């Protein structure tokens, strides 16, 4: 509750439209929907746990307690970040009487994607929320998520270490948001051109949470940023969404970076313009307006335009390996790769993925 919150407007009769084809009192998720929510949550716990194992290090002949702890140190914090984000939306929906489902988590199978999940969504009844209730529903998702993601990332940075690497080695680089660059600088100071920070599972979970928060705050359509901006400036948000969408496409073309293409196309298919609320004239009050603009400001420090970069130069011809004396253990160490200020992690195939 905000201190200068104006009195609520008189209730507006609810009229079903194409967007909300049945009355609110009949809008109830089925038991199958609840079962699906729980099932997807558990499955996403499994896929993110497996991702944590991939970060933990070289494969082991059996699942050790150390590997389990590494898997949980990624899966646990990331699932908590996502859960807090979605429950921020859900609890505000319940508070304002807007029908909504529990979160639907989206798992990704091993080998498809690098995070183990594509996040989560909730489904709400359309045409019910007014301007003020939509603002609360939209803004408290990213705020609840980032409150968890930042300490997770900071604690992960405290456990990280700096190593030296070869500049011309192959890499998968993950761009650091500004807030994470600041954390690394505070911990390790400026890094040399041949140094990087080895990424641990906890820091990776924080990175994913921060990046997804920034991505969700893009001021387009049905994203959280689209909702918040529409409640702040009304239909002028449509112009902002169109400019940002076309600007995003132009940037991808100029930078030859197409990793966002599917996501951008889906945003366009869902619609760039935000639909009206049940009452666009409901006052927000100064407290909400300030909170809204501060939340939109998180976009600048949480988003990175090139989150994943693949660099696989042609491997030079290698000399035949000399035979090792009998009884000599095989080499299992890996060569660091990346560039200055990259965050890297050791993968299970003795390679390294680094985050720029």
For the chain, the domains span: 26-313+334-355
How confident is the prediction along the chain (356 residues), in pLDDT tens digits per residue?
A: 565 565 655 544 444 444 443 444 445 667 788 899 999 999 999 999 988 888 766 556 567 787 888 889 999 999 999 999 999 999 999 999 898 889 999 999 876 777 889 899 988 877 788 999 999 999 999 999 999 999 999 999 998 888 877 766 666 677 889 999 999 999 988 888 777 788 888 999 999 999 999 999 999 988 999 999 999 999 999 999 999 999 999 999 998 888 888 889 999 998 898 999 989 889 999 999 999 999 999 999 999 888 887 766 655 545 444 444 444 333 333 323 233 334 554 443 333 344 43
Count CB neighbours of 154 within 10 A: 17
**CA–CA gap between residue 204 and residue 30 (Å, rounded):** 36
**Strand boundaries in the chain, DSSP class E:** 104-107, 117-121, 161-164, 171-174, 195-198, 308-311, 343-346, 352-355
**CA–CA gap between residue 232 and residue 226 (Å, rounded):** 10
Please provide the size of the chain in residues: 356
The CB-based long-range contact list for 10-18 (8 Å cut-off, 24+ gap) reads 12/130, 12/278, 12/279, 14/127, 14/128, 14/278, 15/127, 16/127, 17/126, 17/127
Count CB neighbours of 51 within 10 A: 25
**CA–CA gap between residue 210 and residue 145 (Å, rounded):** 8
Q: What is the DSSP letter of 102?
A: P
């Amino acid at each position: 509750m905000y201190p200068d919150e104006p009195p609520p407007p008189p209730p507006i009769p609810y009229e079903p439209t194409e967007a909300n084809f049945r009355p609110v009192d009949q809008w109830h998720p089925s038991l199958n929907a609840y079962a699906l929510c729980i099932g997807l949550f558990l499955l996403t716990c499994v896929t993110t746990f497996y991702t944590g194992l991939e970060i933990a290090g070289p494969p082991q002949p059996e699942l050790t307690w150390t590997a389990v702890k590494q898997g949980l140190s990624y899966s646990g914090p990331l699932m908590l970040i996502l859960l807090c984000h979605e429950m921020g939306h859900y609890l505000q929906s319940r508070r304002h009487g807007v029908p909504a489902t529990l979160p639907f988590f989206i798992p990704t199978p091993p080998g498809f994607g690098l995070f183990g999940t594509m996040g989560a969504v909730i489904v709400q009844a359309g045409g019910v929320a007014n301007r003020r209730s939509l603002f609360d529903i939209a803004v408290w998702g990213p705020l609840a998520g980032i409150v968890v993601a930042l300490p997770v990332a900071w604690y992960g940075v405290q456990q990280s270490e700096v190593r030296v690497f070869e500049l011309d080695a192959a890499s998968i680089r993950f761009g650091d948001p500004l807030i994470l660059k600041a954390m690394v600088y505070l911990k390790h100071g400026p890094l040399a051109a041949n140094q990087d920070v080895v990424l641990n599972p906890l820091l990776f979970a924080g990175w994913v949470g921060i990046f997804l928060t920034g991505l969700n705050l893009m001021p387009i359509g049905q994203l959280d940023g689209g909702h918040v901006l529409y409640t702040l400036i009304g239909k002028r948000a449509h112009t902002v969404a169109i400019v940002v969408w076309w600007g995003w496409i132009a940037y991808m073309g100029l930078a030859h970076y197409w990793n966002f293409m599917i996501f951008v196309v889906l945003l366009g298919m869902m619609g760039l313009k935000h639909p009206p609320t049940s009452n666009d004239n409901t006052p927000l009050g100064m407290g909400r307006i300030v909170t809204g603009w501060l939340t939109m400001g998180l976009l600048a420090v949480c988003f990175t335009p090139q989150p994943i970069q693949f660099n696989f130069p042609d491997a030079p011809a290698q000399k035949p390996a000399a035979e090792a004396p009998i009884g000599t253990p095989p080499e299992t160490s890996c060569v660091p790769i990346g560039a200055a200020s990259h965050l890297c992690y050791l993968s299970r195939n003795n390679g390294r993925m680094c985050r720029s």
